Structure 1
Amino acid sequence: MPDKTFNALIDGREHDPFRILGVHADGEGWRLSVYRPHASAVSVETAAGWQPLSRHGHTDVFQLRSSAALPAPHRLKVVEEGVERVFHDTYAFPPGDASHDLYLFNQGVNTQVYHLLGALAQTRGAVAGVCFRVWAPNAERVSVVGDFNRWDGRTHPMCSLGASGVWELFIPDLPVGSLYKFEIRNRYTKAVMVKADPYARAFE
């Protein structure tokens, strides 16, 4: 994978992190890519136990190529500033199908926008978490930021849902009610702003 692809992610310009991060077919096996700017070590849980990922050059991208059986969805073990945490990989959960709601939204006739946008408690498979969606049609990149990622927009970049102008990311294992905002990079001015969610269920 060319470094320029990672550069878009690292520089905060990536509109579809799922094409880079998570698990992808690689020959007869698979390749896992994880981007954790504050991590010193990353491992993934496989049928053979925890396997360490290798840092890609001098970046904060960690990768593993393997053919070992991998649970779906898989879990990561991440060490950040000496603290070890285990959680499901965010990029094992691609955007869900909200095409009907997005169509109504773009037609201006969606009367239940609060069911589409904001922070929505969801369970995908057997994994509970929060699905974030925000309308940001002029954005080059949007991220979810909060206490859970040190308010660092590099950690949880969202996925653009095409011409709808809506961005989505499901963060597994995140408690409902966690403090968050959206970090938005304007595609025209390149300015980066942190904004509160206009569809938030509660405010601090």
Structure 2
Amino acid sequence: MTTLLRLEAHPLTARHVWDAVTEYGAAHPDTLTVVVSVAGGPGNGRDPSYTAATARLRAAGVRLLGYVDLGFATRPVSRILADVDRWAGYPVHGVFLDRAPASPFSIGPAAVAIGAARRADLRDTVLNPGMPPDPSYRALGAEICVFDGPWERYARWDGAGAEPGDGHLVHSVPPGELDNAWLLQATRSAGFGMVTDHAPPRAYTDLPAWLAAVTPLPV
């Protein structure tokens, strides 16, 4: 199972965080996917600091996804496409489509975003509805996060609608339960995901305990 890590810290103001993630990725090839989240997108134009930082991560063997907010199918499609287009200017492998819809009647924006990403050669796409979506979403060919929530709910979740290889994002895990959470993910055949002791609103954006432990101090 690979780890999916949201990274919102700016590479200039939190260089030590980016360095730690790069070092971890180089030491553990093909085990880390990083979602680069820049306030919901890369902003207008290109930021040279992000270009350089993402290039270092990619060279270290880290899979990179640019963050795009689908707004549960409420965001204007023009804005979604603009975010996808801007990510095409960075050395990322694909896009992470957050707050994705799950209803068959709202599949349109997800399908449009995935199609646009592939035309821009952003081949890796991950949908995050946070729950098992309608089966029609499987035909889009994207990886899907079928759980996004607290440990208390994940421990009780019956897994209905999930398939082996899906993503499981679990936050608010008590430190003493972290190993149990990882084990439960493996038992449920998650293909990728995150287990973190952090809670919303920064559940996946701060370094989790297991990675913070190897993070060098700022210089």
TM exceeding 0.5: no
Structure with greater proportional strand content: 1
TM-score (norm 1): 0.30
TM-score (norm 2): 0.29
